[in-house]
Structure 1
Amino acid sequence: MKLTIWGAAQQVTGSMHLLQLDNYSILIDCGLDYEKGTYQEENQHFPFDPAEIDLVILTHAHIDHSGNLPTLLRMGFEGQILCTSATADLAELLLLDSVNVFLGKQNKKTKHRKGRSGPQPLYLQKHVMETVDRFVTIAFNKPFKINGAIELTFIAVGHLLGAAAAVLTITENGTTKKIAFTGDIGRKNYPVLIDPQPLPQVDYLVSESTYGGRFHSTDTTLQEKLIQTIEETCIKTPGRLIIPAFSIGRTQSLVFMLNQIFSKGLLPPVQIFVDSPLANFATDVYRKHHDLVSDEAKEFYQTKGDEFEFDNLTYVHDRKESLSISNYLEPCIIISSAGMLEGGRIQDHLYYNIQNYYCTILFIGYCAKGTLGDRLLRGDPIVRLRNRDLMVYAAIKKTDLLSGHGDHHDLMNTIKQQDPQKLKKVFLVHGELKNMNALATALSTECYDVVIPEKGEVIEL
């Protein structure tokens, strides 16, 4: 049995791991690699023949894990894609949204290069729908026989609705081995989502390491941080709070937290706008799969009603309604995508408010280097929007309390569920090298054999 880490090797994006048996090949995740300069062109070149892959296992819906699946089909893959039901629904939304992003980039480039076409999209809507047709959904904690030699079990890991660690039990040449792929590991007590569940004892563990050596803030709670920010921005002064948020996962958790705050009367009512069509669709998916949300969210539903609906909350649908928010003169909270400010309706809200002294922009997620969000967080005094240079007068704030990734403690706790005498090796993926090294050092002191594989390195299991 051979394992090759073809993606998220010593970097965060592009998760893609190839597991090869004598006569069967399994690809675990097939994500977009955003760290390639021309990612649309580069992501269509696979380091293997897609037609030779027998099966894909998808841990969760995020684009850095699912985003290159339509390309895989387009290049010859003919097998099934195994995932949870919530992952299937959310992946469909995200993949269709990716098509819109590709086409938007193409149109933008075409405008600036007269007579020349922009970059060709990686895939189109028809390729997404062909991909969705390949999804075969599996429940959590129910062993699924792939064939006579391979069994798959999904274990819930929080992070995103439907997200799972994939545990494979493989019998080869009379020997049975277990290997687990964590996907992305979530946090305990995260709004709406269940806590990560313990993994069974395995022989080999492929673990994410995004927050290796990093720790989430502990000096305040998410509820306290939101109350403080809303009070300062919308209650004491008649301002507006803009929260850039990823449409799937982050927005639903934020809306639930705001629902709890206002339903308890911890703050006087404030108008809230959720301005993201994708978030609206995703919220319906969360409602559809309500059996997968946390006990806290279920209890709230039983006692107070829908976690994602309450007085003074408005879901914005069309662009006209979105633009009209600029004319809303009362204090308000605007939740909009995209989280890094690189596109979407959030740019409209920035354009009209970045020079507003009474506006606060609260970042609740990661912003990659070079993005507009990153430039604001590092304190750039001027930003360019709609071909205009605008002074930044709005207050810029940040919190990591809604990060969907478990921190160093969470990663250590997940891995330390494994007996170091029985776990042969831990392979660290999905993290920057410095974070991998920090996690590897901590695990080594606990007597774990840790490997940080290079991209394309073939490992005999």
Structure 2
Amino acid sequence: MKLTIHGAAQQVTGSMHLLEVGQYKILVDCGLDCERDHHVMLNENFPFNPGEIDVVILTHAHIDHSGNLPTLVRMGFNGQILCTPPTADLTEILLLDSVSIFMRKEQTSRKHNRKRPGQGRQPLYLQKHVMDTVDRFITIGFNRPFRINGDIELTFIPVGHLLGAAAAVLTIDDNGTEKTIAFTGDLGRKNYPVLNDPEPLPPVDYLVCESTYGGRYHTKDKTIDETLVEVIDRACVKESGRLIIPAFSIGRTQALVFSLNKIFSKGLLPPIKVFVDSPMASIATGIFRKHHGLLNEDAQDFYHKLGDEFEFENLTYVENLKDSRQVSNYFEPCIIISSAGMLEGGRIQDHLYNNIQNYYCTILFIGYCAKGTLGHRLLRGDPIVHIKDRDLAVYATIKKTDLFSAHGDHDDLVNTVKQQNSQQLKNVFLVHGETVSMQAMADTLEQDGYKVTIAEKGLAYEF
């Protein structure tokens, strides 16, 4: 067997791992490298021939794991894409949204290059390529062994993180010798709203493990409900203002809405109007309802006792742009949940444009903001920010919490590995993390007797 890490090697995005068993080639994930410009053709320069890939295994729907699949198909891949049913549904809407983003960027690029014909950006792929990709999805339930061919069996193990997210466990007959290898994808954390806890992986010989939060720890002194009640009480009750929460449409918005539903149903706060301003969030919530049986026990109990986890009396899903603009004219205390968690596009920019200079507005960040984004500039305390071609002074209150992060922290990651016997586990390949995170995780594991390799991009490992 030969393993080559072609993406997310000492960086977080662009997951893409090639496993070769004899002449058979398996690609695990095919994500966009978001540290490159999506529209520059760097993402289409695969270090292998897409037409030679026999099968793709997709661990979950996030764009840094799925976002380059249409490019792979466009350039010659014609095999199956294996994933769980929720992953197939969520990936489709995320890929279609990527096309919309590409087209908007292309239009902007054309405006800026009117005097230089041919210099505009070209979309990485189009809707046709997305639909061609979706046609290749073959869905497999959790913990149901699936024989890829006579020598290779695949089992998906639930790992939390996102609805449908799975670790891929492969049992391989390699010239008469059985070998096992697992790819964690992204690992979730315990007690996360809506999602089940990650399940332990079976014993394997080799483990390709993410390391996003290596060396970092989540806040543990407060619960999600306590944090939300404290922020909402100050922003919307005591100050009679508005609370804006940027949140990714898929996963985080559903966790946040369910948490708010529980808070209001318990009477922990007076009724406050909540707007979810994201068409994609509405579609994604429908997918969560479709796969309701995969939600955690807390969500199931709530449903049986009080009804839909994602609906309550003061909640409004804002469907069209006209209604979104009307939200700005709602002058009572309210909570606005809007898409684009890093504030780099979408309707959230309109809400910020209208409220960043409002002393009675609070902006609560519940996710990671990459360097260079508007969200990052607000979090570091910039007094003036640039929004929609204007420089605006920041008078709104800026807050953050990491409790809605769906990634396991250092302890969660290490404990996942430690479920494996250090004598049987021949090697742990660390991926999907910055170098400092990988090194922190490697140091901890090596102290406990595990052999660890910090994966290098393009380097082949044979075993």
Paired AA for residue 260 in structure 1: K
Displacement, 1:39?
5.2
2:429 corresponds to = 427
Q: 1:352 aligns with which of 348, 351, 354?
A: 354
Displacement, 1:41?
1.9
**CA contact 2:38–2:124 (8 Å) conserved in 1:** no
Distance 2:170 2:39 in 1: 31
Please show how residues 438-453 of structure 1 align to structure 2 within 5 Å: 438-453=440-455
Please show how residues 134-153 of structure 1 align to structure 2 within 5 Å: 134-153=136-155
Please show how residues 27-426 of structure 1 align to structure 2 within 5 Å: 27-37=27-37, 40-115=40-115, 116=117, 118-426=120-428
Please show how residues 6-45 of structure 1 align to structure 2 within 5 Å: 6-37=6-37, 40-45=40-45
Identity of aligned residues (%): 70
Distance 1:410 1:58 in 2: 22
Displacement, 1:413?
1.1
Distance 1:234 1:47 in 2: 52
Displacement, 1:113?
2.1
SS of the equivalent of 1:43 reads helix
1:3 corresponds to = 3
After TM superposition, the score normalised by the length of structure 1 is 0.99
Range with greater deviation from structure 2 (336-345 or 115-124)? 115-124
After TM superposition, the score normalised by the length of structure 2 is 0.99
SS of the equivalent of 2:328 reads helix
In angstroms, what is the RMSD of aligned CA positions?
0.8
Aligned residues: 461
**CA contact 1:33–1:39 (8 Å) conserved in 2:** no
Range with greater deviation from structure 2 (113-122 or 130-139)? 113-122
Paired AA for residue 235 in structure 1: V
Displacement, 1:38?
5.8
> Structure 1's 404 and 336: CA in aligned 2 closer, same or farther, altered over 3 A?
same
Give CA-to-partner distance per residue, 1:219-267, whole Å, 9 cap, x none.
2111111000000000001100000000000000000000000000000
**CA contact 1:56–1:79 (8 Å) conserved in 2:** yes
**CA contact 1:14–1:65 (8 Å) conserved in 2:** yes
**CA contact 1:342–1:372 (8 Å) conserved in 2:** yes
SS of the equivalent of 1:327 reads coil
Displacement, 1:145?
0.5
Distance 1:56 1:3 in 2: 14
Displacement, 1:87?
0.1
**CA contact 1:50–1:77 (8 Å) conserved in 2:** yes
**CA contact 2:338–2:347 (8 Å) conserved in 1:** yes
Distance 1:353 1:110 in 2: 31
Displacement, 1:404?
0.5
Runs of 4+ in structure 1 off by over 4 angstroms are: none
User: Any unmatched runs of 5+ in structure 2?
Assistant: none
Distance 1:396 1:39 in 2: 32
Distance 2:230 2:113 in 1: 47
Distance 2:36 2:328 in 1: 36
Distance 2:40 2:68 in 1: 10
User: Any unmatched runs of 5+ in structure 1?
Assistant: none
**CA contact 2:274–2:335 (8 Å) conserved in 1:** yes
Distance 1:424 1:39 in 2: 39
Displacement, 1:201?
0.1
Paired AA for residue 357 in structure 1: Y
SS of the equivalent of 1:151 reads strand
Paired AA for residue 133 in structure 1: D
Give CA-to-partner distance per residue, 1:13-59, whole Å, 9 cap, x none.
00000001112000000000011246542101100000000000000
Paired AA for residue 350 in structure 1: L
Range with greater deviation from structure 2 (36-45 or 178-187)? 36-45
